[in-house]
Amino acid sequence: MTEFPTPPDDEDGGDADAGRILAPEELDIADDEHVTQIDDGRFVVSPSERPADDPVGVDAHATPEPEPEPDPDPSAGDPEPTLDSDAVHDWLAEDVGSVSSRYGFDVTATFGGSVSQRRLVSNDVVTSFESLVLWYAQHVDDDTPVEEVLGILLLESNVPVRYPPRSLERILESTNLGPEDSIADLIAAVEAEDGVQL
């Protein structure tokens, strides 16, 4: 076998191996840690230094493993609270009951297909009642005066109403009648006024 002379060192202090011809045993790269054999006589050579974020053995084109699913929120599976009429009534009862006033109401009603609501809280029992019945009478008939609607409702209802004696005195005072006048005079005076206002 022909021996190849080793070239002299670079006179300028260069690398002595630069430009040297490799021997056949130096060409065996199968055992190199940076070489992977993919087929007979075919190799993939990796750089001798890898970036810190490119670990050996990881295929850059491989699909990354999916992130683990987070633990489910225990409250996410809770059903939504049911909003029905019972729940609304319970909430209204609690809400109206929480006010500091002695009297109050929260009413929703339909009048001929139109829905109306009224809410009031007060320390005056008369004010509370008056507000409720006036609101109701105003929505029963838009064309009839409220006082007439209330009179009709009371007259047509099956609930007897007992008025105090003072109410009769007010009726007599409104007609300008005296003790000498008869009941017939009272009836005539009331009819002339188209009713009695208590």
Q: What CA–CA distance (Å, rounded) separates 80 from 147? A: 47
User: CA torsion 51→52→57→60, rounded to 10°?
Assistant: -70
Question: Which pLDDT belongs to residue 5?
Answer: 54
SS3 (DSSP) at 116: strand
- The residue whose two tokens read 């609501």 is 117
Q: What CA–CA distance (Å, rounded) separates 24 from 34? A: 19
Burial of 149 (0-12, 13-18, 19+ CB in 10 A): buried
Helix (H) or strand (E) holding 166: helix 165-175
Question: Which pLDDT belongs to residue 136?
Answer: 93
pTM: 0.49
| 8 Å CB contact between 150 and 159 | no
Closest among 173, 180, 125, 133 to 152, alpha carbons compared: 133
Tell me the residue type at 119: R
Q: What CA–CA distance (Å, rounded) separates 114 from 128? A: 23
Question: Which pLDDT belongs to residue 180?
Answer: 83
| 8 Å CB contact between 141 and 151 | no
Per-residue pLDDT of the chain (198 residues; tens, 9 = 90+): 545 555 555 555 555 555 667 666 666 666 777 777 777 767 666 765 554 554 444 454 555 667 777 776 666 666 666 778 888 888 889 988 898 899 999 999 999 889 999 999 999 999 999 999 999 999 998 889 998 899 889 888 888 888 788 887 787 777 877 778 888 888 888 777 766 665
